[in-house]
Chains A and B, each alone.
Chain A
Amino acid sequence: MRTKISLLSVVTLLFGVLLTSCTKSSVVVSVPPLVIGQPITAGTPLSGSVKGTMLSGQTYTMTGNITVNQGDTLLMQPGVHLKVGRGLTILVKGVFISLGTKDQPNWIGPDKTFTKTDQVGASIASDSAYCGYWTGINCEPSCTLLDLKFTHVEYTGASFSANFFPSGKAAGDGSFGIYFQNLNGDFIFEDSWMYGCIDDAIRLSAGRFEVMRNTFEKCGFTGGDGANVKSGSVGDMAYNLCIGGATNMTKAAMPTSSNVQTNVNMYNNTYINCGYRQSDPTGRGGSINYESGARGEVYNNLIVNCRVGLRIHNNPAADVLHMSYGYNYSYGDSLSVCDMFYPVPPTTSVTVPQSTDIPTPTATIFPASLYSAAYLYTLDASGNCPNMVTPYNGSSFVQKGNPLFVSFPLPEQGIQHLSDISAVGSFNFRLQANSPAIGKGTTDPTLIAPIAAVHVTNPKLKATITMPGADMGCYQNDGSGNQH
């Protein structure tokens, strides 16, 4: 018996020794080598980590991907041309500022010259606008400010190469023109031009922003939006001229979640011929779109010959209880356009025709039983809007209320499809003095006012917000609004 007990104690002792012996454990995760941003000098090709000022009137060429490190700033003075090599990326972990002016705009685009094929009816398949030459300006979640004023951003949309891509993307993924993803960061895109891209021209996965007085041409190849902001994005999209976009040109959504609700005010934008390259036959919208819990105010927009008008999506539904809109001006050459002023299946929506809209949605065409907010905004127990806008007879709207652009004859001339015109070219979308769109908008601040979410206060850097204007669309008769 004794031996048994002593045996047991030996075993117990063995246990003890082993249990008390050291347990070492370690986790190693590789970290990027420290690279100090190098000051840039004119005439020296840009590559790697850079910071500093690009001087007025100079041309700089990127021969490799560039990174603006966290804590560093890269600034373009007025009149700078930044040429980007094929497939390259501007990666912003710190701050990137481009201070073009009306007289001295800045250019960020390919290091080679493409011939623009902006003539009416040019083949899209061979259009250089969709060559996807470089991968755009990509901001990491650490980027606190991306500020572009009077800056041309052209020919983006390449796929990311093997060894350089931002967070949230992988090698081989397609790129956006501008990608911003800091909920607590500021993104300012003012008086600038976005020409040619494959997917979205601007994608915010989160952030405070102003997208104001810009021109968007040929954005998206067979999909993609102009300015597409997602969960936790707050700001304004106003006075933008949008022409020939693949899908929507201004879009607000909240497909994932955030502790800030997506809230976007869209006013005084002009939309021409948008939504016709979208390959999904449901259209998914063709001008303005709110969905999946996003909220906002939509006023004074001029929507001409777009595939789909203002779309308040029913599923996933926008935050319909907090949507307000009206004073939007629609024009259509054909019945198929006019039938979609208020989107009907296959493009589903719960857009309520507003009495302030032009042309006036009469109760004869839109009986309250089917087109009132009370009906369309009915939420079921799961928070869906099951009552969507049903087809109506838009024949009385066809070619009514020509907004009389300075130089863009309506009905549109020399085209086979509305997708045949997708750039400004020699057209002029200012309103003639006798345009029926003049003075029809609202400036009532209780209806529409900018959100002005951006925090930047430095007078040279801050956003310049144009208040809502009474003339429909992006050009005001008093010369304010879009300056292009």
Chain B
Amino acid sequence: MKLRSFFKTLILLSFISLFATSYVNASNIKGYVLDSKSKEPLIGAVVFDKQDNQINDLAGLDGSFNIKKLKSGRHILVIRYIGYESQEKEIRVSANHPVANVTVLMEPNSVALAQVDVVAEQNKESSEYAMHKEKSAENVENILSAKSIQLSPDITVANILSRMSGVTVQRTANSGEGQYAIIRGMDKRYNYTLVDGIKIPSPDDKNRYVPMDIFPAELISNLEVIKTLTPDMEGDAIGGAMNLVLKDAPPSFLLTADVAGGYNQLFLDRPFYQFNHQAVNLKSPAEMYGANYPAKVSDFTIDNLKFKPVNPLPNFMGGFTIGDRLFNKRLGVILAVSNQNSYSGSNDFFATPRAKPNENNMPGFEYMTQQTYSTQNDRLGIHNKNDFFIDKNNRIVLYNAYFQLNKYISRHSLETALGTGVGNVITKDRSQTQLESIYNSTLQGKHTLSNQLSFDWSAVYSKAWASNPDDVELQYNSTIINSPTLQGMTHKWSHNADQDISGYLNVYWNPTIAGQEIKTQAGGMYRHKTRDNYYNAYQLTPQLINNEPQAFTTIDSAKFAFVGYNANLGSPVNQNDYQVTENVAAYYGEAKLNLWKKLDVLAGVRVEQTNLHYKTPMPISFVGSSGSQVYMDILPSLHLRYTLADNQNLRLSYYSSISRPGYFEVVPYLISGEYFDEEGNAYLKRSKAQNVDFRYELFPHPSEQILAGLFYKRITDPIEYSLVQDLGPSSLQMKPQNFGTATNYGFELVILKYFKNFGISANYTLTKSSITTYKASYHRDNSGQLITDSIRVTRPMQGQADNIGNLSLLYKNLRLGLNMQLSFVYTGKYISQVSGYYGLDYWSMPYTTMDFSFEQSVSKKINLKIFGKARNLLNSVAITRIFRPNSYLTGNFQLPEQNSPNSVVVQKETYQPSYLVGIRYSF
């Protein structure tokens, strides 16, 4: 509470300072310092009176300066900015005209960078560059710059994404950290992730989408969310593509380093439950001794089931970037390393309704669950980029990136049976070790053959791994009258790897025909993907002691056995052990031309040929032990940009795209779930979409923007999970299926406005989608029999929130060297989990977070800054509801946390705020 009032004061102070700076003095000179070409503000440019350099100002966020309290008369202003030619301006101030306005256009200082002209690129890490790229791009995209990322309260890319227009981020239950991005209401499956424009594989065991929490924010130069696809981009995104642009080699020697420490408030209130993850066996007995090895109980460690309550060490975050240009600036090298080790967790309440509801699809509950998660995240990112100019026309780039996220998750779960007081309790202790990594290596060449003809190529090797060694769970049950009885123990091992070998070629030909330059581009791409999975689970049964079930006291004294022949093999053959090879060949052609000076047209088409084969270790007697899917897609697109005025654009984009099913979804697996069997679908088709975007852009000032857009998507064969009765009418299976046609449309608004020391960045997205699927309905028929049949239900698509918004208040005081940012993210309610039954969808309720960050220069002599990030200051609680009448408010079956007669709270997760303070040093 104290904290809240502190920040209230802070906001107030920011407003006051804003007001103060706008105050008009009797005689002063106001103006802007801008780049002469791009008209972008040169933030921090020094403006002073030549006669008295104490009379000075620094250009603010909008490039503005204000020199106050000047004597009437002639003044010579000196304007200086690094990398630009200094200027002097003579201005007269008189009592009659107390305010003089002046705009200073600065010319870049070309001498320093004359060696290689390409080096004289703009600073790609600046917000201005980001905005410039948004403005000049052919397609619709949103870009966040490295500077914004550095200043933001976020330390992972997933969380940064939540600040971008039209993006919702799904949180993990175990830490509350963002993980997957939903773009414009389109679920994670409809989006893809690029690193420097190259699509990367996913460490997910079944799907294509990439967990965005694996990327530390620090390595990112720009984060782009691309919402319309051009023909040169891979065509399998319906929501959009996320492109992580990593840092380029600097124009001259660069060294920055930062180190920070922090803490999660959660662990001031309760301990962190730690297990010894060094003790985890990385390989299953079957992997160590052969598939036919009969495992012994002694082959399994129980050390990962011993949880020690500790006060965790402070969170650590550190990293450095070092780079230079060598050999006459021909060779650029950059190496960036970032490491984050943090301790987070959550305290959760769950009331999980039975998969099959009560009569008339009313939710039924057996247990309510209290869970505590303690999660250690160890994140490492290494990035290296080398570019070499062979000559003016030929350039080679080699870049390597490695990302690793190791999670050590312990969970303590207490399930209390409803209506028995606090009597019947199931205790489950679980520890998980989740190791994920992604590696990418790209060799790229850019060659200019003539003024009109150039080409580039890329040879890419990338690989993603995930390994979950010894995911172990122990269960023991107790009742009102019985002490705990041992139930069993499960040890699971799974791992998967996904490897891509790809080649890209793009040819650019810019002929001038009839005085009109036409930019044409054609190219192709081929990717060979191999993916394999391993899964094995061992079930251990408690021994009977003296012909009675075994009481549980400690894990050390628990006695287990394998019961029944073959039980000690674990799950020797499993459809989870599938292998996939996928070859995608794509080629495209596009042309860009300018018509009537005002209209930019980009038209083209992309063709993608997909060839997927899967193989499971299932016996040949199994239908679909292997199979394939081959298909081709032709994806045309057209992008129009009409320049209304210098600072106004209208854009109209059309593109056609697809979304391929997850790798595992097309494997016709059948796995017993807790309530439903889960089934794959060999005939699952890719989703196809027609996408139209319309956007109006206004750049009132180079550092300000207003973007307003409409989008409409028509998705054929969207993929959703639904219940089917494939094994005869008796059984129900959960199965991914194509469901007719879905629509998704919405409105987006982005506003960026800077005052001198103060800025507001806001975006809002309204989305509406609809999809019609079959749902099971459990009710009585005319004869009084309780039966289940199917009904068609129309609902929003999973993950689509009607309203999402972001608001950031920025304060930058160049004199003080202070940057502050207060950020809010609002996510409206959306379906987080679709139920197979009518009315029982899980709705994630509106969620607002507030985060704060600051950066303060310590000294002007050495470039040293203190920074801090505080996240989740409102301690926002994530609530999930089922919208059915709630009979659980009172009575014998009362559930806690309920407050509405019209909906049932089924999940409530609290994560607590976390804080980070550090120092950043730049050479």
Residues in chain A within 8 A of chain B (CB atoms): 3-4, 7-8, 11, 14-15, 18-19, 21, 23-33, 67, 86-87, 121, 123-125, 130-134, 141, 157-164, 167-175, 181-184, 198, 205-207, 221-222, 231-232, 254-261, 276-282, 292-293, 295, 314-317, 319, 322, 345-346, 348, 380-384, 386-388, 416-417, 419-420
Contact of B788 among A24, A258, A281 (CB under 8 A): A258
Contact of B549 among A159, A255, A277, A416 (CB under 8 A): A277
Closest Cβ neighbor of A26 among chain B residues: B630
Contact A7 B887 (CB under 8 A): no
- Within 8 Å of chain A (Cβ to Cβ): is B22? no
Contact A258 B787 (CB under 8 A): yes
The smallest beta-carbon distance between A19 and chain B, in angstroms, is 6
A-B contact pairs, 27 of them (CB 8 A): A15-B603, A26-B630, A29-B624, A30-B625, A130-B564, A159-B564, A161-B572, A169-B672, A171-B571, A171-B572, A172-B571, A172-B573, A173-B571, A258-B732, A259-B788, A259-B789, A260-B729, A277-B544, A277-B549, A279-B485, A279-B549, A282-B479, A315-B366, A316-B354, A346-B479, A348-B420, A384-B893
- Within 8 Å of chain A (Cβ to Cβ): is B555? no
Contact of A346 among B424, B784, B786, B887 (CB under 8 A): B424
Known contacts A124-B547, A163-B573, A319-B786; A256 and B731 CB within 8 A of each other: yes
Contact A162 B572 (CB under 8 A): yes
In the A-B complex, the 5 residue pairs with the smallest Cβ-Cβ separation, listed nearest first, are A132-B564, A206-B730, A172-B571, A257-B788, A383-B358
- Within 8 Å of chain A (Cβ to Cβ): is B418? yes
Known contacts A30-B620, A30-B624, A159-B569; A417 and B563 CB within 8 A of each other: no
The smallest beta-carbon distance between A118 and chain B, in angstroms, is 14
- Within 8 Å of chain A (Cβ to Cβ): is B885? yes
Closest Cβ neighbor of A206 among chain B residues: B730
Contact B563 A130 (CB under 8 A): yes
Known contacts A3-B516, A384-B893; A174 and B567 CB within 8 A of each other: yes
The smallest beta-carbon distance between A166 and chain B, in angstroms, is 10
- Within 8 Å of chain A (Cβ to Cβ): is B548? yes
Interface of A is mostly: loop
Q: List A contacts of B401 (CB < 8 A).
A: none
Contact B891 A380 (CB under 8 A): yes
Contact of B729 among A164, A232, A348, A381 (CB under 8 A): A232
Q: List B contacts of A28 (CB < 8 A).
A: 627-629
Closest Cβ neighbor of A256 among chain B residues: B732
Contact B566 A222 (CB under 8 A): no
Closest Cβ neighbor of B360 among chain A residues: A383
Contact B619 A164 (CB under 8 A): yes
Q: List A contacts of B550 (CB < 8 A).
A: 279
Interface residues in B408-426 (C-beta closer than 8 Å to A): 417-421, 423-424
Contact A7 B607 (CB under 8 A): no
* Residue among B486, B518, B549 having the largest count of chain A Cβ atoms under 10 Å: B549
Contact of A276 among B548, B574, B619, B892 (CB under 8 A): B548
Contact A181 B727 (CB under 8 A): yes
Q: List A contacts of B623 (CB < 8 A).
A: 29-32
Contact of A279 among B356, B424, B486, B627 (CB under 8 A): B486
Closest Cβ neighbor of B488 among chain A residues: A279
The smallest beta-carbon distance between B789 and chain A, in angstroms, is 6
- Within 8 Å of chain A (Cβ to Cβ): is B595? yes
Contact B729 A3 (CB under 8 A): no
Q: List A contacts of B572 (CB < 8 A).
A: 161-162, 171-172
- Within 8 Å of chain A (Cβ to Cβ): is B621? yes
Contact B542 A222 (CB under 8 A): yes
Q: List B contacts of A19 (CB < 8 A).
A: 605, 634, 636
The smallest beta-carbon distance between B53 and chain A, in angstroms, is 56
Give Cα A232–Cα B539 distance, bound, in whole angstroms: 29
Known contacts A18-B607, A29-B624, A257-B732; A172 and B479 CB within 8 A of each other: no
- Within 8 Å of chain A (Cβ to Cβ): is B342? no
Contact B776 A257 (CB under 8 A): yes
Known contacts A32-B620, A419-B548; A170 and B575 CB within 8 A of each other: yes
Beyond contacts A31-B623, A32-B620: 5 other A-B pairs, Cβ-Cβ < 8 A, are A121-B547, A163-B619, A171-B573, A205-B731, A279-B542
Give Cα A445–Cα B679 distance, bound, in whole angstroms: 44
Contact B549 A381 (CB under 8 A): no
Give Cα A8–Cα B484 distance, bound, in whole angstroms: 78
Give Cα A33–Cα B593 distance, bound, in whole angstroms: 58
Contact B628 A27 (CB under 8 A): yes
Q: List B contacts of A159 (CB < 8 A).
A: 564-567, 569
Contact A160 B566 (CB under 8 A): yes
Give Cα A293–Cα B356 distance, bound, in whole angstroms: 10
Contact A281 B479 (CB under 8 A): yes
Contact A131 B622 (CB under 8 A): no
Contact B569 A162 (CB under 8 A): yes
Q: List B contacts of A381 (CB < 8 A).
A: 362, 885, 887
Give Cα A85–Cα B479 distance, bound, in whole angstroms: 42
Contact B727 A222 (CB under 8 A): no
- Within 8 Å of chain A (Cβ to Cβ): is B54? no
Give Cα A257–Cα B837 distance, bound, in whole angstroms: 10
Give Cα A260–Cα B781 distance, bound, in whole angstroms: 10
Contact B547 A417 (CB under 8 A): yes
Give Cα A124–Cα B603 distance, bound, in whole angstroms: 77
Give Cα A205–Cα B358 distance, bound, in whole angstroms: 19
Contact A183 B893 (CB under 8 A): no
Contact of A292 among B356, B481, B888 (CB under 8 A): B356
Contact A382 B564 (CB under 8 A): no
Known contacts A7-B518, A279-B487; A317 and B549 CB within 8 A of each other: no
B587-600: CB near A (< 8 Å → 1, else 0) gives 00101010100000
